[in-house]
Amino acid sequence: MKFNTRLLHGRAVKRYAEGATVPPIAQVTAFSFPTAEEQANVFQHKAAGFAYSRVGNPTVAAFETRLNELEGGNACIACSSGMSAITLALLNMLCAGDEIIAGCGLYGGSIDLFEDLTKFGIKTRFVRHMTVEEIEPLVNERTRVIFGELIGNPGLEIMDVPKVAEYAHHIGVPLIVDSTTATPYIAKPLELGADIVVHSASKYINGGGNSVSGAIIDGAKFKWDFDKFEALSGYRKFGILAYTIRLRTDIWENMGSCLSPMNAYLNIIGLETLGLRMERICQNAETLARALDEIPGISVNYPTLPGNPYRELAERELQGLGGGILTFRAGSKEKAYRVLDSLQYVTRATSIGDFRSLAIHPASTLYIRSTPEMREAAGVFDDTIRVSVGIEDVEDLIDDFRQALKA
Ligand code: PLP
């Protein structure tokens, strides 16, 4: 089955109650049981079923199984946001005193989270580029995980997943990949060697800009050393499934990070058109990037443009696609604001992956808590504009930016 067919007819797509083609929205808090014993069995994980929506819900489960199939995972756990997915993916395996190695070209919220984690005794060491050469000198006996974005938002650096994963396994730690900007349409990090994938499903997976949501997908191939990963030591008997089981029955459940059934439903509707949207978005982004790059004085960052240092990697790892984000520099903050204020079809809004094109000045919004060094490492300068390209007619998008740049 190819990608678009799998979205509609994959193993995870069920015949739902009454023959419904999409799952009904189980918008409930608790589920009733015919007997106390049946209820106890579900609570004790002796029987399958749903008892309370923070712990499990049929609409949410339908979303999880669909995304899990697309990523080729062993299990998917849906979360209330992309940030909760990243937080829990890390906390599930880390203890105070442990260290993370992360790329610094990350989404600003993730950089802020790593700063927050220092208060819990978890330190992050940042590399400028996610390469083995830069990671190696930062590894020590407390290193427990390597974390990076497949296509960095908004720096658009691409991680060489097979190389980084091979090195991570060589030093005995898992690789977590935030694949929000790539989506399983462009690449499947687990197949490339990563161990765990996280998503902000608020973006391309949902597609309509109508639900904040996230997901963690565990490939369940990493062989945990339970003496080294103390956080998982109580789950030793589950072997390679320890990560998923602790997450599902402990950290995720207790931290109350569940996705709402309504948002899971909206994500399923969105997911069914992921392939079509991504095809159009990637085409539009590349065409717009090329058109803007021809304007004198404007230099565009987009992975598949000639001369971009990640072009060859995009060819090898991302099927030659560059994703839906581009950035360019307007010359000064004032000019960037002027361009943004002059846009007619492109919406001035944060977020990415909406089917509407969105634009923002990241330095004065998403990166206000970052140091100037971290900001620049993420490709964010005072005059940078980030564009999340949508599915509009690309000629209109090009015209819109041309008139805004003239203004
Ligand atoms: N990861 C990436 C790459 C993002 O771009 C974002 C948000 O923009 C997040 C994670 C956080 O996701 P959410 O806003 O759903 O919490």
Please tell me the residue having the least CA distance from ligand 1 atom 12: 82
Instruction: Write out pLDDT tens, residues 95-150.
Output: 999 999 999 889 999 999 999 999 999 999 999 999 999 999 999 999 999 999 99
pLDDT of the residue at 257: 96
**295 C-alpha to center of ligand 1: Å?**
31
What is the share, in percent, of the chain residues with pLDDT greater than 90? 96
Q: How far apart are CA 114 and CA 41, in angstroms?
A: 39
Q: How far apart are CA 107 and CA 351, in angstroms?
A: 11
Q: Which atom of ligand 1 is nearest to the CA of 152?
A: 3
Average pLDDT over the chain, rounded to an integer:
97
Residue 91 above 90 pLDDT?
yes
Testing ligand 1's pocket by substitution, the residue of 151, 153, 210 carrying the most ligand atoms inside 8 A of its CB is 153
Neighbours of 307 (CB within 10 A): 7
Q: Computed from CA positions of residues 290, 292, 293, 295, in that sequence, does the dihedral angle turn out positive or negative?
A: positive
Neighbours of 5 (CB within 10 A): 10
pLDDT of the residue at 377: 87
Please tell me the residue having the least CA distance from ligand 1 atom 1: 200
Q: Give all strands (DSSP E) within 84-238, no chain letters.
A: 99-103, 123-127, 143-149, 175-178, 196-200, 214-218
Helical packing angle, 333-342 and 394-406, nearest 10°: 130
Question: Would you say the CB of residue 113 lies under 6 angstroms from ligand 1?
Answer: no
Testing ligand 1's pocket by substitution, the residue of 104, 113, 202 carrying the most ligand atoms inside 8 A of its CB is 202
Question: Would you say the CB of residue 180 lies under 6 angstroms from ligand 1?
Answer: yes
Q: Which atom of ligand 1 is nearest to the CA of 212?
A: 15
Q: How far apart are CA 166 and CA 172, in angstroms?
A: 10
Mean pLDDT of all residues in 383-404? 98
pLDDT of the residue at 104: 81
Q: How far apart are CA 153 and CA 352, in angstroms?
A: 9
Instruction: Write out pLDDT tens, residues 192-203.
Output: 999 999 999 999
Q: How far apart are CA 17 and CA 25, in angstroms?
A: 11
Give the 3-state secondary structure percentages of the chain, helix then strand then coil, rounded to 5: 45, 15, 45
Two tokens, residue 12: 């995870």
Neighbour-count burial for 131-145, b at 16+ CB within 10 Å, e otherwise: beeebeeebeeebbb
pTM for this structure? 0.98
The separation between the first and the last C-alpha atoms of the chain, rounded to the nearest angstrom, is 49
pLDDT of the residue at 105: 86
Instruction: Write out pLDDT tens, residues 7-45.
Output: 999 999 998 999 999 999 999 999 999 999 999 999 998
pLDDT of the residue at 177: 98
Question: Would you say the CB of residue 89 lies under 6 angstroms from ligand 1?
Answer: no
Mean pLDDT of all residues in 306-323? 98
